[in-house]
Structure 1
């Protein structure tokens, strides 16, 4: 994965333009575990601050490619906030902490060094299909949720 400057995807011709005025979560839409994460966020994000993109979509694929991520395994969700991409444990902790109390208490996890947190993240990510399974098709949002997803 490649760390890049803020909004670098805007100057990448292979990344279609998208609404990035709010934080965006890119996730594996076929992974039941990852879809469950998004369902959790949809339920607890009372201010509807997040938008969502499946990694399998053309935009999701372009973002994975832009950041040098594996476009077949989708082993890291991406949080794009103020044009900055965050991956693995950093992205997940930051995502949940923005939900406010009690979820912001997850910031305590930052006391663990990033390499330790990321090893735990990788362990779950590599086994996510064994833990929760895989869908034959991507998560389909309800009519009420559709406006929070970017195609």
Structure 2
């Protein structure tokens, strides 16, 4: 494991788009900077509670991605941009999105989040990591 405290990505575990995003991060994060928790998992619910969010409210309308970094919880486009920055390399180009007003970025984010099940589908249950990746999932 890395010698730094990894950031935690909370994701909608039944969303195909979110699961694809997690797989993308795993492929491009060989150092293990990020770890993961499905919003529907016990660990995900505990992290939400610890940061003052009601798991029931999130479960009713789950965000596709939240990022816990340095004790702070990021959501919407801020979470995605910080993840891209954390991946480094060519993925940092995505941080140019910060030139857009936050309201615009978040509107785009919410539009995609609102339609993600229709466009990408959903699974009956959360994905299970393979044994090699199990340590990166809470």
TM-score, length-scaled by structure 1 = 0.81
Task: Work out whether residues 64 and 71 of structure 1, in 8 Å CA contact, stay in contact via their aligned partners in 2.
Answer: no
Cα distance in 1 between the residues matched to 2:12 and 2:58: 12
Q: Deviations for 1:30-77, whole angstroms, at most 9, x for unmatched residues?
A: 000000000000000021110100000122123335235522221241
Aligned to 1:134: 122
Structure 1 position 124 matched with structure 2 position 112: yes
**Stretches of structure 1 lacking an aligned partner (at least 5 in a row):** 1-19
Structure 1 position 149 matched with structure 2 position 137: yes
Aligned to 1:10: none
Check 1:83–1:41 CA distance in 2 against 1; reply closer, same or farther (3 A cut): same
Pick the structure with more helix per residue: 2
Number of residue-to-residue matches in the alignment = 131
Q: 1:86 aligns with which of 41, 64, 74?
A: 74
**Stretches of structure 2 lacking an aligned partner (at least 5 in a row):** none
| Structure 1 stretches of 4+ moved >3 Å | 62-65
Aligned to 2:45: 61
Summarize the alignment of residues 1-151 of structure 1 with structure 2, pairs less than 5 Å apart.
21-65=5-49, 66-68=52-54, 70-150=58-138
TM-score, length-scaled by structure 2 = 0.89
Per-residue deviation, 1:97: 1.5
Q: Deviations for 1:68-119, whole angstroms, at most 9, x for unmatched residues?
A: 5522221241101111110000001110121111001111000000000000
Per-residue deviation, 1:132: 0.5
